[in-house]
A and B are shown apart, each in its own frame.
Chain A
Amino acid sequence: MSLAAEAFVSQIAAAEPWPEKATLYQPLKEDQILLSDSASSLAVQTFLRMCGLPVQVSCCANAEYMSPSGKVPFIHVGNQVVSELGPIVQYIKAKGHSLSDGLDDVQRAEMKAYMELVNNMLLTAELYIQWCDDYTATEISRPRYSSPYSWPLNHILAYQKQWEVRRKMNAIGWSGKSLEQVYEDVSQCCQALSQRLGTQPYFFNKQPTELDALVFGHLFTILTTQLTNDELAEKVKSYTNLLSFCHHSKTSK
């Protein structure tokens, strides 16, 4: 969205209270959704639950095409549609709910930096493992992604998506990486998160913020999703404080 459109949307957002029939759209849970989308969706759902805003989850096969930015999940609130965690956080802040108001400038800078770390490393690694690793792509990603469609559309869409992701990996310089290097990056990212978290219940003070929602979404999905091998989950499991963070966040919501 351009800046003017964003400002306009924020104004409209501020005018209306949170409706009861807000909906979150994601791909089909059982058959279609992949690890990265599931992680993003869980992050948004956790964030909304932390803010105390009710939302219904609706699973549609064409959620990705309905989304204004082409990425899932997206929420439909009143007559606005907002996708991805970043814009959703801003939209909800315009409505008057915010989890990070208590942070000072330096802490807010740190929070944004860590959120970018998760996006840059964890999400990119998830996409790499799903689409650039041939074995996983053939066994899991392509069949799942194209399951709602019939032949030949399923082949076309699956390969198109794989090509798009590989192009992106190429542009940011990840196409030269091997799978072991990607797992190593995930491990370093988890180490950084683990060191930042320490023994606290949440990343900042005693209150959860959008960073906690994002980290929980990704880590919980990694731990509970069955891939071709368990190496990704093992990397996360080796950090015990992250495990207890996931457990604590899951049970307290």
Chain B
Amino acid sequence: MHTNMAEPMELLCWGGDWDLPSVHTDSLIVLAYAKFSGATLAVKSIDWTWRTITASVPQLHYEGSTVTEPTQILNFLRKQRFNADYELTAKQGADTMAYIALLEEKLRPALLHTFWVDAQNYANLTRPWFTSHSPFPLNFFVPGRQASLALSRILLTKAESPLLNITEVEGKIYSEAKECLNLLSHRLGNFHFFFGDTPTSLDAFVFGHIAPLIKAPLPSGQLQKHLNQLDNLCQFCNTILKNYFTDASAEKRMDCSPTATHDPVDANLQKLTQLVNKESNLIEKVLARSADSLLNLMSLEIAVTCLKVCGHCFFTMY
């Protein structure tokens, strides 16, 4: 039974890329849970707005109240009768809390390190992405701020206090993360979801944590390599994307917005063929009219289509 909503619930989150509805773990958790529980959210991306530095993402707005943090948002959705955990037993509910704690303690530091502290990944993937998705002049501040927050979180929670050196901690956090992934894989086994055949909040949390790791094109990803060896977790992630998020990613492809798709070559080819077809149609029309003015018109059209082609190549490559 859903409450009668005068206005839909609005969710602010980071935008999507790499076949995902969002690249941000916490935003993904909320988006996945909303799909699982059947809640319709009006998703508003904060990319290219001032909210990239002012808002703490994800943020849910409904009837004047604002809720942040994934756990609080999930509690709020449950109170609004959107409950994906309805059929869990008490013990399964307790297990959910325990596994979420495991993810936060063991996997989150290594994820933060992979995306924000590892020099290669940060310079080649994370910083360009967040810079290109923030408005001027925030693009100078947003990635740096996130990176320093990530580093301080890792050091304060994992480093041994007299030393506070990131290199000493790296080995430890990656081995703990790999162990955590192995434990999750053991727990999932051959099932589709963690508790039977329907996804619950634990599935949302696991999906939010591992999906960016599977899908992001990381230059140096030892954790990603480890995760790719765990077939059941990769399958779990792809199943959720296919069953709950295909509409979103298919819509994005049709919009031809400048986000990189999974097969950039094919998409480029498609766009180029469309443009070339348009151009050849124009040329046919032009040949049926008189020479001078039409030659001008034709050269103008061809110049415009060439510019468009170059523009699309440029956007899809960067």
Contacts and interface: CB of A to CB of B under 8 A. Distances in A.
Interface of A: 1-3, 68-71, 105-106, 108-110, 112-114, 116-117, 119-121, 164, 167-168, 171-173, 188-189, 191-193, 195-196, 198
A117 B160 contact: no
**Chain B: interface residue count, which band?**
20 to 34
B102 A112 contact: yes
B105 interface: yes
B243 interface: no
A120 B90 contact: no
Contacts of B168: 2
Which of A68, A116, A189 has the most chain B CB atoms closer than 10 A to its own CB? A116
8 contacts: A2-B172, A3-B175, A109-B186, A116-B105, A164-B161, A173-B69, A189-B97, A196-B98
B171 A171 contact: no
B184 interface: yes
Contacts, number: 83
Contacts of A188: 97
B91 A196 contact: yes
- Going nearest first, the 10 A-B pairs with the smallest beta carbon separation are A192-B94, A70-B161, A109-B183, A113-B98, A117-B101, A120-B101, A105-B186, A69-B160, A113-B102, A195-B94
A79 B134 CA distance: 55
A196 B156 CA distance: 31
B18 to A, nearest CB: 26
B87 interface: no
A193 B94 CA distance: 7
Nearest to A109: B183
A204 to B, nearest CB: 13
Contacts of A167: 156
Interface in B262-295: none
A109 B101 contact: no
Nearest to B168: A2
Given A3-B171, A188-B97, A198 B91 contact: yes
